[in-house]
Structure 1
Amino acid sequence: MKKRFWSFLSLAVLLFLLPTMTHAAADSSIRLYLNEVKLESAVPPYLSGSTTLVPARVISEQFGATVSWDNAAHKMTVIRDEQKIEVFENSTLGYVNGVEVTLPAAPIVKSGTTMLPVRFIANLFDFTVQWDGSANAVYLKTPDVMESMNGLTELWSITSTATSVTLQAGSKLEANVFALTDPNRIVIDVPNAVVGGGLPRLGETLSQTVASSNPLVSQIRYAVNDPATSTVRIVLETNGQASYEISRPTVSKLTLTLKKPASGKRKVVIDAGHGGTDPGAISLTGKSEKTFNLSMALKVKALLDKEKEIDAYLTRSTDTFVTLDNRAAFANQLGADVFVSIHGNNFAPTSNGTQTYYYNSYSKALADTLHKYVVAATGFRDDKVRREDFRVIRKTDMPGVLLEIGYLSNKQEEALMFTNSFQDKVATAIVKGIKVYLGL
């Protein structure tokens, strides 16, 4: 069989077919795989007008081609098997095995690296290019790898948003979807499939997990369910019962839009940190954190009670002590959709800003959403979303976050935090963030 010339240049062909992509996207966000191996390059591909240029050195490093540069003639020569390509810097004139050709764009030298127009190369050689828009990744396959798949569907990615979970494959995706209880889960069986693309491989590992950013899905895992039929089973572990709608944007993509049963309201638990014998931090003027936390929680609860699609609950409504485990257990037994713990921070007099904490991966989207609204409401420094092993949010089965509204040790922030106007503004922001996250 005639040898094929397979190269990184295939990526640029695809990028050329996607004109809406920007130079920045190609440089920073697109991942490239060759036969399941991620490729890196010192100088990334980029668009020059309507033509994508790629570093020629990748040819020699990844594919065994011989690349040489004649500095006097400003000429680059690429030799691979029976093909000899000669191109010139800043010229659209080139030669393939001595035959004159016209390039779609002139090669250039960028940061000491020769960049080659890809459409010219792509038209000469055989290759397979596959694009996964969900994961923003390109997969290149050599003929032997394509042949070894023997008709199997390659599952590239499993991605989630606040409202859906999407499967993307390299070819037509057939799937059987059904729901199970005890525990609640949605199962997707994909027959005649193999795990590929950017997904972690199974190998000797019986199963793998994928982080979920969907509030109704606590975890996504997959494994080979039936080796005889090469069936890959994907399991979405749901927080309580969830209904779903299936859509197929393309023959190779399947999207499940998830939502709570129509008859039920969304349950939100608001946790006022500390309380009773646990005062929390003491502010500069001698006020206790537990008082601030409870005042904020009561205001948030009052606003949530006005929402027809939300049932709001408090872990404590008075100055009482509740253990961290009992706070999480209350939300878990309730089958809550969201858990929000409210706190005031404390460190040095110069410390300032609003922080938001999460622990479980499925809580990250909630943290990002709430943080945006709370920071805007406080007007304090954005002290970022952080991951920390706080027990009260680690043990919640549903998305849970801990809000550090501001610093009680900071004179300016403490003065605002105990005013009704500030608390009302922040409470409104918390409710807005919860509603946006829940899609209400």
Structure 2
Amino acid sequence: MWGVPVTVLRAACLLLASGLVLPCANAAQVKALRVWASPDSTRAVFDVSGPLEYKLFELANPDRIVLDIRNSTLAEGVVAPSAKGLLGPVRLGKQGKNDLRVVFDLPQGVRPKSFLLPPADKFGHRLVIDLFPKTKASREVVKSVEDVLPGDGRKVIVAIDAGHGGDDPGAIGASGTHEKSITLNVAREVAKLVDTQPGMKSFLVRDGDYFIPLENRYKKAREAKADLFVSIHADACPGACGARGASVWVLSPRGATSEAARWLAAKENSSDLVGGVSLDDKDNTLAAVLLDLSQGATMEASAAIAQIVLKALGRIGPTHRGYVEKANFVVLRSPDVPSILVETAFITNPAEEKRLTDPEHRAKLAAAVVDGIKSYFLQTPPPGTWFAANSNGKRGPSEHVVSRGETLSGIATRHGISLSALREANRIAGDGNVRVGDVLDIPPQG
């Protein structure tokens, strides 16, 4: 009895033009079964010897998910994992003569999703089953008008995302250090320092060894009503390339365009807000204008923050390049939360791997990131925040991020210093110019 199927997914060794699927000639062996639980989902990963054909379906009373893997065997020593997250006890056994059956007992109803992954890095073929709660509440919208208007001096919220996690280790150093471990340690250190700062509050996107889909990471930041999203990573360079140094990335214009198109296409079925304004009831032209305005402001803020953080990182060690880089990273695609990605160092460089495993160096990295974040909010306090409430009548910060339309003389006048002092502090020649996003040192008034 197959029960009521929720999904039937197959991957085969050969698909004929006629549409006939031929089973694999050799039995696909299940070599290991690993389970990872996050606050929002549970993931089961089967390490298998090659491509396979499988069927996944649901049974009720009691709730169970059943997985049948055709023409498959269990490797010696494979045992059922303990109950974890949305998974209760797991049972492994034969189904018929040649098939393998796995039964997942469930403490509650779930929405399953399954897919196969090809070999990558140190991993071979994998079958992944993700389980999500059926009763998960609909997602709250992000900042409302009340959140951004002047008020009680709320704390700015910094969402910190530790890259990779769970069955995704990220890059692996020569000594076996996993990127996912470095990013979590640095993210926790950043969060701890953020929470010590007046007017700032942290939100850890991932606070354990589990995987979160990339798109869900910036969505979590939006749900937390974050004012800034910072994704922490450790870079990699294949072979003995010798690359080193930290880098800071922002979303490329191409990535922003792609995400804008996706948002506009899905706006009728979404309760998301962009910059406090719902797109649900707007026609396509108006929605496109609102989204473009929101993304333009977000990207400009992201670039300004990235410049300051990169400069702060440069004070504790080399940077990979002397400028902020751009790429179409999925985690940076939030249209209304300024977002940056920090590559702390090259984990594939043995010297930098050693530093990344040193708690003292990680603390310096975290302090540099937080110094950059704090400098930005001091210079550009969001309305209604503690920074805005405490900026009146106080001397400006010691750094200035150049905005569109600003001139050196105008910046000097704004900070009450001479043009020559500003040029000297930043080693700008008499005919030198500045660009949008440049970070200038502001010398003390004399």
Q: TM-score, normalised by structure 2?
A: 0.40
Q: Which of the pair has the greater relative contact order for Cα pairs under 8 Å at 6+ separation?
A: 2
Instruction: Give 1 or 2: higher strand fraction.
Output: 1
- Larger-gyration structure (1/2): 1
